[in-house]
Homo-oligomer: A and B are copies of this chain.
Amino acid sequence: MKKSDIVIIGGVAAGPKTACCLARRLQNASITLYQREDIVSYAGCGLPYFASGDIESFDSLLTTGYGVRRDKAFFAESKGVDVITGAEIVSIDRASKTVTVRMLKTGETFEHKYGKLVIATGSVPKKPLFPVETSDRIRTFTRPDDAIAFRKAAQTGKIGKVVIVGAGLIGCEVAEAAAGLWGIETVVLEKEKQILPYALDADMAAIAEREMKRKGVEILTSVDIDRISLQYETPVIELHGGSRLACDYVILCLGVRPEVSLAKACGLQIGVRGGILVDSHMMTSDPNIYAGGDCVESYHRTTGSYIYMPMGSLANKHGRVIAENLAGVPTEFKGTFGSFIVKIFDMNVGSVGITHKLADTIGYRAETVWGTFPDKPDYFPEFKIYSLKMVYASDDGRILGLQAVGEGDVCRRIDVFSALLQKGGTVDDLLNFEHCYAPPYSEALDPMHHLGAMAVAQTRGVQFAAPDCKPVDGSLLIDLRERSEAVAEPMPVGSGYEISVIPLGELRSRLADLDKSRRTYVICRRGPRAYQAAIALRNEGFSDVYVVGGGVQAARL
């Protein structure tokens, strides 16, 4: 029987982080970390970028920034942590505070007594709801082996065509890896109506979807798969309805679920989202057991309910919180705002807080504004644009969520919004936010300011329509752009409504020709002119004015 003060199960992110923080805090504690795989403390989020070739060597995912490999010796010497790899935990006996360990290579089993136990067992890929034949050409994409296998096959020219099943974050990252660097013919299948279905509203996802298509990725949404079979060695995806898709390689990106089998077996409480339920101190229903990382579910700070949010960033924070509590300093993990970002070819796609769809689902009365912005003044060379969608509460103006898509600096806006969300920010706080300003970095007025001003305008009767709205029959859509712009960047055109090109500078003189009671949409290139015109039209007595959010650069009418 072995014995340690602290036993940790799991060695990717939350486990090693807990171990290292704790070893610093409690110099004399004995800490043992068990890891099923042979490698430990690897940068799992880097796998898509190893697969793409952006990251040259797999070893760099296992190495500190100063070139030392994070292996058993590293943890022993630098950190004073005993790491045992190739070791599976068979069971947890909470009464005797003992785990049973089985060494995978030798089959040897033994017991290990703990003072406190930390479960960081991570996640496992979700099982497909359709039959899938076994082949090394049909894989998930969650473990290092998956990334190594894909890259090897891509590098040696074995993949002419790949099908990626699932257009979530990992599916999109892998699609870029396949089509972008390796030039592989890439098809993405998604059962929902849009890519990133649980992360973005449809109108914002559409912008990212257009980017993927522009870069040559074929995307099929609302697709039901009956089975994935093999014809000789070729994977064939059989779709509901009868069509078949043959390819050289299939990657199943169906998402992951928390790995809770050990926790369940020993009777720990499991939450509504299937993850281990922990309190704000990351303590499970057993006060001697803590849990963190991808095996737990998280409190969502906007909705007040639980979500499953498997993110390396949260796992690392969990690690510190667990270590502090184990070191005797009560410390809280306050939950998540569901923040994420993903690179889709040249576009940055991110969100924090809740989408409008989620607000509707949980019954929040929410309003939305949209805008497209350059990330520096447009007189400055090489500015890039992005489209923002902001959701806020109808009753008290508190901000609820931001979605951002585009080539510009999406990351900064998501992070700033997250900081304001965290502190209970309101539309008024957006107007008062002070960004750092110089032309190489930003415009004189930050997009947060513009979003705030649009929300205020909305309370005064200017309405905003989604970039993918369908103007109602009989309505008028005024294109406020200069005629040269309208020629250079034609507007997507639907039917059932009238379009009139009236450059903003001519609007005042044309007011008399317009019907004030008719539903009127205004659109420009990015949004500001339309928003200005809408305020003016309202003040002139137009009763039913909509700004098409984000302008022509976001729109798909």
Cβ-defined contact, B352 with A436, below 8 A: yes
Verify if A414 is at the interface (C-beta below 8 Å from B).
Answer: yes
Total number of A residues with any Cβ neighbor in B under 8 Å: 102
Task: From known contacts A27-B536, A66-B485, infer whether A49 and B440 are also in contact, taking CB-CB under 8 Å.
Answer: yes
Verify if A445 is at the interface (C-beta below 8 Å from B).
Answer: yes
Of B43, B320, B374, B432, the residue contacting A65 (CB under 8 A) is B374
Interface residues of A in 381-432 (CB under 8 A from B): 381, 409, 411-412, 414-416, 418-420, 422-425, 429, 431-432
Docked complex Cα distance between A521 and B377 (Å): 45
Cβ-defined contact, B66 with A381, below 8 A: no
Task: From known contacts A49-B380, A381-B55, A505-B77, infer whether A67 and B484 are also in contact, taking CB-CB under 8 Å.
Answer: yes
Assembly stoichiometry (copies)? 2
Verify if A194 is at the interface (C-beta below 8 Å from B).
Answer: no
Q: Which B residue's beta carbon lies closest to that of A485?
A: B66
* Smallest CB separation, A505 vs chain B (Å): 4
Cβ-defined contact, B45 with A439, below 8 A: yes
Cβ-defined contact, A422 with B412, below 8 A: no
Cβ-defined contact, B43 with A377, below 8 A: yes
Cβ-defined contact, A381 with B54, below 8 A: yes
The listed residue with most B CB atoms (<10 A of its CB), out of A55, A317, A425, is A317
Cβ-defined contact, B429 with A508, below 8 A: no
Of B78, B337, B342, B343, the residue contacting A504 (CB under 8 A) is B78
Verify if A122 is at the interface (C-beta below 8 Å from B).
Answer: no
* Smallest CB separation, A328 vs chain B (Å): 12
* Smallest CB separation, A196 vs chain B (Å): 13
Verify if A25 is at the interface (C-beta below 8 Å from B).
Answer: yes
Docked complex Cα distance between A311 and B436 (Å): 10
Verify if A140 is at the interface (C-beta below 8 Å from B).
Answer: no
Task: From known contacts A68-B505, A415-B412, A423-B429, infer whether A313 and B535 are also in contact, taking CB-CB under 8 Å.
Answer: no
Docked complex Cα distance between A316 and B435 (Å): 12
Query: Given the complex, which residues of B lie within 8 Å of A262, measured CB to CB?
Result: none
Write the A149-180 contact mask toward B (1 if CB under 8 angstroms, else 0). 00000000000000000000000010000000
Docked complex Cα distance between A126 and B524 (Å): 42
Verify if A63 is at the interface (C-beta below 8 Å from B).
Answer: yes
Docked complex Cα distance between A342 and B333 (Å): 36
Query: Given the complex, which residues of B lie within 8 Å of A340, measured CB to CB?
Result: 436-438
Cβ-defined contact, A317 with B445, below 8 A: yes
The listed residue with most B CB atoms (<10 A of its CB), out of A20, A63, A435, is A435
Verify if A240 is at the interface (C-beta below 8 Å from B).
Answer: no
Of B55, B315, B377, B433, the residue contacting A379 (CB under 8 A) is B55
Query: Given the complex, which residues of B lie within 8 Å of A312, measured CB to CB?
Result: 437, 444
Of B25, B27, B439, B440, the residue contacting A540 (CB under 8 A) is B27
Docked complex Cα distance between A120 and B321 (Å): 51
Of B20, B348, B438, the residue contacting A343 (CB under 8 A) is B438
Verify if A550 is at the interface (C-beta below 8 Å from B).
Answer: no
Query: Given the complex, which residues of B lie within 8 Å of A43, measured CB to CB?
Result: 377, 379, 439, 444
Q: Which B residue's beta carbon lies closest to that of A309?
A: B434
Verify if A211 is at the interface (C-beta below 8 Å from B).
Answer: no
Q: Which B residue's beta carbon lies closest to that of A60?
A: B379
Verify if A378 is at the interface (C-beta below 8 Å from B).
Answer: yes
Query: Given the complex, which residues of B lie within 8 Å of A509, measured CB to CB?
Result: 77
Task: From known contacts A27-B536, A412-B412, A505-B74, infer whether A313 and B343 are also in contact, taking CB-CB under 8 Å.
Answer: no
Query: Given the complex, which residues of B lie within 8 Å of A434, measured CB to CB?
Result: 313-314, 336-337, 339, 352, 418, 422
* Smallest CB separation, A416 vs chain B (Å): 5
Of B63, B419, B508, the residue contacting A419 (CB under 8 A) is B419
Cβ-defined contact, B505 with A350, below 8 A: no
Cβ-defined contact, A441 with B343, below 8 A: yes
Docked complex Cα distance between A315 and B434 (Å): 12
Cβ-defined contact, B54 with A380, below 8 A: yes
Query: Given the complex, which residues of B lie within 8 Å of A377, measured CB to CB?
Result: 43, 46
Of B54, B420, B440, B536, the residue contacting A423 (CB under 8 A) is B420
Docked complex Cα distance between A507 and B74 (Å): 12
* Smallest CB separation, A194 vs chain B (Å): 20
Cβ-defined contact, A67 with B416, below 8 A: no
The listed residue with most B CB atoms (<10 A of its CB), out of A320, A419, A441, is A419
Q: Which B residue's beta carbon lies closest to that of A334?
A: B432
Docked complex Cα distance between A510 and B10 (Å): 30
Docked complex Cα distance between A350 and B440 (Å): 13
Q: Which B residue's beta carbon lies closest to that of A507?
A: B78
Interface residues of A in 461-515 (CB under 8 A from B): 481-482, 484-485, 504-509
Verify if A442 is at the interface (C-beta below 8 Å from B).
Answer: yes
When A and B form their complex, which 5 residue pairs have the shortest distance between CB atoms, in order from nearest? A423-B423, A419-B419, A313-B437, A341-B436, A65-B378
Given A27-B539, A55-B381, 15 other A-B contacts at CB below 8 A? Answer: A65-B379, A66-B482, A66-B485, A68-B505, A74-B505, A77-B505, A173-B438, A313-B434, A313-B446, A341-B437, A412-B416, A414-B436, A418-B433, A418-B434, A419-B423
11 A-B pairs in the complex with CB atoms less than 8 angstroms apart: A27-B539, A27-B540, A43-B377, A49-B440, A56-B381, A65-B525, A67-B485, A352-B436, A415-B415, A416-B418, A420-B422
